[in-house]
Amino acid sequence: MLGGAGLLLAASPAQAADTSYKTECIPPAVSGLPPVEGTTVAQLTAPAEAKVGDTVEVVWKTVEAASKNPDMLDLGKDTVKPTGTIKVGGAATGTLQMEGPRQNPPIPKNSAMVLPDMKGTLKLEKAGEITLTPDAYNINVSKPISTDTKCSPKETVKTGATIKVTDGGGATTGGGTTSGSTAAGGTTSGSTTGSTTAGGTTSGSTAGGTTSGSTTSGSTTSGSTTAGGTTSGSGGGQTDFPGKEVAVHFACTSPGPAGISSKVTINAKKSGGSYALTVKTAKGVMDSPAALPAGALKPSMDVSIAGADKGSVKVTGPANAEPLELGKPVDLSDMTGTYKPGASGKSTLSPGTLTIDVTLGASKINIPCKVKGSVTPSLELDTTAQQGGTSGSTTSGSTGTAGSSAGGTDSGGGLAATGAEGTGTLRALGLVAGTAILLGGAVFTFTPWRRLRGTR
């Protein structure tokens, strides 16, 4: 009964063992650093024995990460957050998503990464022996900007823990692990007959067909469907369409930062035939290169539309409400706009060019930051064409700009050129290059914006 209610059980003494495997870690694209090969030492802790119907907790302790903190930047306290995947085998097949808190001591540059323990929960649905094997993991650093280092095995990994599952009289559904319960610090985990879940969403097979839906605490909501975390479907009276958080790298034009990395989420709320969009970026996307007064910095973005519809939608956010201190993290305000579909069918919405406008008195500077490389769509909508909609049109705030590339990325992919036009702006504002800030292991050169208040 307790297992069926989804309560966390520790049925018998837990086991822990170290597993070592060769690993390749890929630094953030904006860092310019090459891949690093090293050895991961992981220790998995799980009950040695349990019964069918039990929900057990699995803990991943990273004894040794494969890569060190590069010799560029000291990482502050509580800025590191790991996530990972455990392969489930034996009597059950699938994957178990693991997640740790953003919790760490200060990590000096050129020293070992200290990662908090990751946790996940596993519901046992079939008797037999279940094996748990550590697999790929990701290290997210939130400051000065949000960056990800992705680590994956380069050899066959040995089993890290085994759970002997006995028939306790609970009902089974055909083997495999199922998702549904989340422990504190863990994530919704596992899959049915091999399907994989990530980021707290669940996708699984059900009798009579396959349902893929957005979930809350493991329960699947029918009616709206998700694929890879994006939301599709506008029928059934649904009005709110939450998007998936996606990682985006932006290359900016001088005198702004060379690049910005951030997680971006596009949410939509349907009103009639149109959608009110809200675009959110991660906290602390960059450090302020100068002391700026309230109302000086304002963000906007061109949301790229692809699929059945084509174009882009301009969304804008209010300026900073509080003064910004030199070297302190900057949070961009939420950006809003209206999307009026110009075509019927499934359309995807992806982050596009991010623009930062800085105004100091009569001096104004515009810094466009184009998407560098590919980006995953944050949202999918099943749209119905509206008169005067986005497709093929160029407007600001409600409909799109022709020429956006399919898939939601700006063409070019490289760093924006800084030619005569950028030089003219610098001369007009009396700016000189100078302030260097280390961002997530890469060096980005900023203009000393404190001079913006000076005379021309």
pLDDT of 358 higher than 60 = yes
pLDDT of 366 higher than 80 = yes
Q: What is the pLDDT of residue 14?
A: 67
Q: Cα–Cα distance between 50 and 163 in angstroms, integer?
A: 7
pLDDT of 62 higher than 60 = yes
pLDDT of 355 higher than 60 = yes
Phi, psi at 133, each rounded to 5° = -130, 125
CATH 2.60.40 fits 8-203, yes or no: yes
The residue ranking higher by pLDDT, 181 or 167, is: 167
pLDDT of 432 higher than 60 = no
Q: What is the pLDDT of residue 243?
A: 95
Find residue 315's DSSP bridge partners: 301
> Nearest 5°: CA angle at 386, between 384 and 389?
115
Q: What is the pLDDT of residue 413?
A: 33
The residue ranking higher by pLDDT, 88 or 231, is: 88
- The token pair at 237 is 């009276």
- The token pair at 184 is 């504190």
pLDDT of 442 higher than 80 = no
Q: What is the pLDDT of residue 47?
A: 93
Q: Cα–Cα distance between 385 and 383 in angstroms, integer?
A: 6
Per-residue pLDDT band at 284 (split at 50, 70, 90): confident
Q: Cα–Cα distance between 320 and 345 in angstroms, integer?
A: 37
Least confident range from 207-216, 229-238, 376-385: namely: 207-216
Domain positions in the chain: 8-203, 240-418
Give the percent of the chain with pLDDT over 90. Answer: 46
Q: What is the pLDDT of residue 144?
A: 74
Per-residue pLDDT band at 234 (split at 50, 70, 90): very low
Least confident range from 1-10, 254-263, 337-346, 360-369: namely: 1-10
pLDDT of 241 higher than 80 = yes
CB-facing half-sphere around the CA of 293: CA atoms within 13 A: 6
Q: What is the pLDDT of residue 149?
A: 93
pLDDT of 298 higher than 50 = yes
pLDDT of 311 higher than 60 = yes
Mean pLDDT of 317-335: 89
pLDDT of 217 higher than 70 = no
pLDDT digits (tens, 9 = 90+) for 93-124: 899 999 999 999 999 988 999 999 999 999 99
- pTM for the full model? 0.41
Q: What is the pLDDT of residue 378?
A: 96
Mean pLDDT of 373-399: 74
Per-residue pLDDT band at 302 (split at 50, 70, 90): very high
In 142-196, at which residue ranges do the beta strands (DSSP E only) sit? 147-153, 161-166
Q: What is the pLDDT of residue 292?
A: 86
Q: What is the pLDDT of residue 32?
A: 72
pLDDT of 429 higher than 70 = no
Left if phi > 0, otherwise alpha if psi is -120 to 50, otherwise beta: which for 185?
A: left
pLDDT digits (tens, 9 = 90+) for 78-99: 999 999 999 999 988 899 999 9
- The token pair at 333 is 């305000």
Q: Cα–Cα distance between 122 and 183 in angstroms, integer?
A: 10
Least confident range from 63-67, 148-152, 187-191, 240-244: namely: 187-191
Amino acid (1-letter code) at residue 433: A
pLDDT of 230 higher than 80 = no
Q: What is the pLDDT of residue 107?
A: 94
For the ranges 57-66, 404-413, 414-423, 439-448, the maximum mean pLDDT occurs at: 57-66
Contact 55, 5 (CB under 8 A): no
Q: What is the DSSP letter of 78?
A: T
pLDDT of 185 higher than 90 = no
pLDDT of 8 higher than 70 = no
Mean pLDDT of 411-439: 32
Q: What is the pLDDT of residue 236?
A: 52
Place of tokens 């610098």: 426
